[in-house]
Amino acid sequence: MTGAAAGVGIVIALIYLIIFVIWIYGFILFVKLAKRGIKALDIYINEKTKKQSNDYYISGNNNENP
DSSP string, 47-64: HHHHHHTTTTTTTT-TTS
With cut-offs at 50, 70 and 90, classify the pLDDT of residue 48. Answer: confident
CB 55 within 8 A of CB 61: yes
CA distance 11 to 4: 11
Is residue 18 scored above 90 in pLDDT? yes
pLDDT category at 3 given cuts 50, 70, 90 is confident
Neighbours of 50 (CB within 10 A): 14
pTM of the model: 0.61
Residue partners of 38: CB distance under 8 A and separation at least 6: none
What pLDDT band is residue 4 in, cutting at 50, 70 and 90?
confident
Domain ranges of the chain: 7-57
